[in-house]
Chains A and B, each alone.
Chain A
Amino acid sequence: MTSARKRLAGGLLLASIFFFGSVNDAQAIPAFARKYGLRCSACHEAWPMLNYFGQKFKDNGYQLMNDRDSPIWQNPSYWPATFRITPQWHRDSSDKVAVDQAAAGQRQITSTGFDLSGLDFHTGGTLEKNISFYVLPSSNPSGSFHFETVMGRLDNLFGSPWLNLKFGKFELDNLVSEKRILTLTSISGVYETYHFIPVGDGNIFGRIGDTQLGVEWMGHSLNDRTRVSAALLSSNDGNVMLSNGANSYSGFFAASQAFDAGKLGVQRIGAYAMIGQAPTTYFTQGGGVTVLNGAIGNKSFHREGFVGLFYLGKLDFQVVTQHGWDNAWFGAGYGQGPPFNNGPGVTLPPGSRAPTWNGYLVETHYVYSPQLIFIQRSEWERMSRQALPTNPSNLGNIDMYTFGYRYYPIMTSRAGFAWHNEYSWVRQQGMAPDGFALTNSSLLLGFDFDF
């Protein structure tokens, strides 16, 4: 046998092994799928991102509304829990990092290696018909846990889908959900648009992508075509013990309408707004230690945006545009606490003004099959008014691009498993040690699994 034949035989064997491995069904999935016997693809365009049916399921309080939602109908051994973690290899690079050993004081730093994501331990579901809960202890990669989500829900009050209450710590009613994001690199794991604040800004409270503490009313039509919600939140960005934002509140409002576009699918457009106040003055003791729960001097901020989910058969686009505005005190760095403390006699720097900016997000998915999805996202954050007129007009502007794919070799109602490959690139103006643009990139290959 010639070496060419050997290579051919070896290649074919490898191909056949890969083929069988890829089509072989394995048994294993998360809590809701196990409870209802539905494949993850029924609720997820590609997990964890919800599709329209999954959104309706969530809006109904994790219920199919088939009169078998109460746990009394489950086998007593059923426990609604699932965990998710992503072992991975990644390469992260930053083109300008301040280092002592570099002649110019800065150099490119690139790191590669095998690593872990944090662990999410989800448990949720119904306690009784129309009463549900969700608890999500979540860790960082080193295993330090916090409560990412903890909430109780009362759904379909008085038999109406327009009366649903949520209480605790939860994700805001974002149609484009950061907590169900399909991109996982160190750059793309959050939406820049939801977290952006101007350079030097001290407002840590208006981060729409973070889970927040509060109460939410949500209503929807029976088929979920129309959705509205309003939430009252503590202005502390989800941090417990009122460590920030004691006695200050924010509101988050969202509304959307979906349309039946025949063969193209269901299209949805919506709008949202976050309007709030947060403190800029913290009481201190013992030489600068912040007094817990002692914060006053509320200043205002707001974010408002439009969102669209557009489907063209296998291709879909998620579009978000958002405008942001922060009070000039936030723009000057006040809000996150000492040393920026708005105390007696403190004044804003000359010429300070309220910073404003606009964000744009377009995420595209091509769903080749429920088991293979290609993802691309572009985000642009643009300052429209700097807090200080002396700042360059483009200071802090961000360009972010990411693309990748997720392949799910198995698709059952017992477990979720994805092979995730992705490359991300981001540039932010004025953030390098030399005052020019800072560019970062990240490549990730990993197993994302959920059981």
Chain B
Amino acid sequence: MRTNIREWSLLASAVVLLVSPCVCRAQITEYQQHQWLRMESHIGNLTGHARAAEMDYRRYCVGCHGELGDGNGENAPWVDPKPRDFELAIFKCRSTPTGTLPTDEDLFNSIARGLDRSNMPQWSTFTKQMRADLVAWVKHFSPRWQTEKPGTPIQIPPEPEVTADRIKDGQAVFQKVECWKCHGVTGKANGPSAATLTDDQNRPISAYDFTEGARPKCGDTDQDLYRIFMTGLDGTPMPSFADNIKPDEAWDLVFYLRTLEPQKSKEKEIAKQLGLKPVAPSTAPAAAPPQ
């Protein structure tokens, strides 16, 4: 009898050991399948399907972003800045107003562009269909995509001609909205608040150093810079100034920021001719922080 019990225990243990991981897997699969795995993305004529991206996500992304898309992949502890948590659906690079979901195209472009000075490479080797599928997969991690619509992309007015007056006005905007507090008076990311910056997870984060000559994370065209002021970088201390500055002022600011970069540019040449000096923090007028 005792032998029988031991043998049956052995058999039961084996069955439990073999079946338990399958059950866990089944639960995850059922959860995802029924809830979110039908997620789609739409970029132009392309339709991305979450299911089609599962293998690519596992191949390329999971090491950082994790199986659950929570940014807790095996490399997360060693990566700075930390991988994006897709469950929160908070993204830096958007064309939509602050606090809203990005468009599918925003995510599509981020995948190909990568995020400079981070571990997110430019996945420009992917086919467009692969990227569209991955966008759908990224979306399937967060319930926000089930209940919210992406924001309406902001309108970017045509870029005006750069002039000396516009650069001077841009400097005034730089002073007024206190960009210098984080980015420093020369754009070297050494403003008085720079050392205290944290992201929405309360992790230390650096301001962008304009003097380094590196590509801004969300694109390096004038339009990209304009968009960054107006949408902000959600999840970071970089706010949206859409309610604080007018479109014309935003363009002025774009031109002024170009003078802080090391690359040769028309703006830099004009600033040199003007003998433009860095803003003086002590004389900077106080401005109400953006809401």
Interface residues of A (CB under 8 A from B): 1, 5-6, 8-9, 12-13, 15-17, 19-20, 23, 25, 27, 36-39, 41-42, 52-53, 55-56, 64-68, 222-224, 260-263, 265-266, 314, 369-370, 412-414
Contacts and interface: CB of A to CB of B under 8 A. Distances in A.
Contacts of A369: 55, 58
B11 A8 contact: yes
B37 to A, nearest CB: 18
A262 to B, nearest CB: 5
B27 to A, nearest CB: 16
A224 B125 CA distance: 7
A71 to B, nearest CB: 16
Contacts of A260: 127-128
Nearest to A262: B129
Contacts of B207: none
Contact of A12 (B18, B62, B78): B18
B60 A67 contact: no
B74 interface: yes
A6 B125 CA distance: 53
B4 to A, nearest CB: 6
Contact of B7 (A6, A39, A222, A266): A6
Contacts of A12: 11, 14-15, 17-18
A266 B59 contact: no
Given A25-B74, A262-B128, A37 B119 contact: yes
A67 B18 contact: no
Nearest to B133: A263
Interface residues of B, number: 43
Contact of B116 (A55, A67, A412): A67
A17 B13 CA distance: 12
A260 B64 CA distance: 26
Main secondary structure of the interface of B (DSSP, over half): helix
Contacts of A1: 3-4, 7-8, 11
Contacts of B21: 19-20, 23
A283 to B, nearest CB: 51
Given A39-B59, A67-B214, A262-B128, A9 B122 contact: no
Contacts of A27: 74
A55 B125 CA distance: 10
B31 interface: no
A44 to B, nearest CB: 9
Contact of A37 (B58, B75, B114): B75
A234 to B, nearest CB: 33
Contact of A370 (B4, B15, B58, B74): B58
A64 B121 contact: yes
Given A262-B129, A263-B129, A9 B10 contact: yes
B59 A41 contact: yes
B165 to A, nearest CB: 32
B254 interface: no
A37 B79 contact: yes
Interface string B61-79: 0111000000000110011
Given A66-B114, A66-B120, A263 B52 contact: yes
A67 B117 contact: yes
Contacts of B18: 12, 15-16, 19
B215 interface: yes
A354 to B, nearest CB: 41
A53 B58 contact: no
Nearest to B128: A260
Contacts of B4: 1
Contact of B122 (A17, A20, A41, A65): A65
Interface string B105-129: 0000000001111111111111111
Closest 8 CB pairs of A and B: A37-B75, A1-B7, A12-B14, A16-B17, A16-B18, A9-B11, A39-B63, A223-B124
Given A52-B125, A56-B125, A67-B214, A5 B7 contact: yes
B14 A16 contact: yes
Contacts of B79: 37
Nearest to B130: A265
Given A12-B14, A37-B78, A42 B124 contact: no
